[in-house]
Each structure stands twice: as structure tokens, then as C-alpha cells.
Chains A and B, each alone.
Chain A
Amino acid sequence: EPEVTQTPSHQVTQMGQEVILRCVPISNHLYFYWYRQILGQKVEFLVSFYNNEISEKSEIFDDQFSVERPDGSNFTLKIRSTKLEDSAMYFCASREQVNQPQHFGDGTRLSIL
């Protein structure tokens, strides 16, 4: 069964550094998402992406964050200047059609030191 793939599984970065989290959605999917989960808390929506543009973003998704689909297969989340509070599990998800459920990757655990 096709899967959403996220790399790396764990990223350790110094505060203030830039980090790029990578995702390869399922190939025929059209809608892409990033969510984050701070340890022990609920999963929070960050951003949705469709037709090569952001369709919705949350208050968390400020100017430090950006998303890109550089080559038609990868979907990346960039955090420009990481803060301690960015430490979390970041999930990528994708969806084929409007009425289909989202499929999640295994997540990237981001640790900011």
C-alpha cells in the first residue's frame, strides 16, 4: 500500500538554525498538509497546500515557516530560525480527493537545543 514518507525521522538542531523537514506524499494525491504535536499534547494543524499554493494556514504558521513543493514529488516544511518551542513531532499528510481521508507519514521528531 502506498505510504507518505518523511525524512529524517529525528532531527536535532541548534536554536536559531534553519531546518528543512521533508515529505514525499502518495503519488496521486493532490492535497498536502503539515501538522505538529508537542510532546503530550494534541495534534495541531499548521498548513494546507493545494495546486502549488497554500490554501490555509494556522496562527502557528508565522513568517518563520514556509512550505514548498520543489519538484512535483517532495513537499517540504522550512523553519527559518528555530526556537526551543519548535521542538515537536511534525507530521506530513496527503489526500487524494476532497472526500478522501488524509494519510499520515510516520513523523519527524524535531529537537531544538
Chain B
Amino acid sequence: AQTVTQSQPEMSVQEAETVTLSCTYDTSESDYYLFWYKQPPSRQMILVIRQEAYKQQNATENRFSVNFQKAAKSFSLKISDSQLGDAAMYFCAYRSVIYNQGGKLIFGQGTELSVKP
């Protein structure tokens, strides 16, 4: 079974600085999707960025980018020019591409990011 591990329960960053959140996963599959979701205090789940495992190029979305290391099964999220609104819980998630697995997301434990003004 696949697992997702986020080893940093809490992280802190100064406004305008850069922070990297770590995520590792375990799978025997060669193709899959990886995601980062943001959960602000309102507890919505907001998609930040996604990566297809077959793509070597790291995904980027404005100030958010990932460092995808397939061999190491590592998927870190870099937030540049951090803003106060980035403060939230961040979840890393895995999804298999095998159809009969229904496409469920497997989440890590989350990293609580605080942004200091």
C-alpha cells in the first residue's frame, strides 16, 4: 500500500522569504500523481500544485514550485516570496493511476506553516 510522510509538523517563514516543505512517499507503481493541498483556518482544501510522475519537469504555479525526485520518492514544495495569506496547513497527497483503485487521494500528516510579518 502507498504511504505519504510529511516529517515537518510545523514550519515558520519570514514574510517575503522562501520556505520548502518536505514530503516523501512510498509506492511500487511507476506512474502516479502527486499533489500539494493548502488548508487555511477556514478548513477548505485548496489545490496548490500537481505533478505527474511521468513528467521529469518540475511543476510550477506562480510562487509555488516543486522539487520532484522520483528515484528518491521525494516531492517537496517551495514557496517563494512568502505572504501572510500563505499561512495554512499544507498536505502532500498521492494518487494512483490504476483505474480500479478509484482515484482516491492518500494524504500525509500535514505541515502547519506560519508566516511572520
Contact = CB atoms under 8 A, between A and B. Distances in A.
Contacts of A99: 33, 52, 97
B22 to A, nearest CB: 15
A31 B72 CA distance: 31
Interface in A90-113: 91, 93, 95, 98-99, 101-104, 106-107, 109
B109 to A, nearest CB: 5
**Interface majority SS on A: helix, strand, loop or mixed?**
strand
B26 to A, nearest CB: 15
Interface residues of B, number: 26
20 contacts: A31-B103, A33-B105, A41-B109, A45-B105, A45-B106, A48-B103, A56-B102, A89-B43, A98-B97, A98-B99, A99-B52, A99-B97, A101-B35, A102-B47, A104-B37, A104-B44, A104-B47, A106-B42, A107-B43, A109-B43
A17 interface: no
A56 B44 contact: no
B91 interface: yes
Interface string A25-53: 00000010101010001111100101000
Nearest to A49: B102
Interface core residue of B47, B52, B105, B107 (most chain A CB under 10 Å) = B105
Contacts of A35: 105
A102 B43 contact: no
A102 B100 CA distance: 17
Given A89-B43, A98-B97, A104-B45, A42 B107 contact: yes
Nearest to A46: B104
Interface in B98-117: 99-110
B104 A48 contact: yes
Contact of A56 (B33, B45, B104, B109): B104
Nearest to B4: A42
A109 B42 CA distance: 11
Contact of B104 (A33, A37, A41, A42): A33
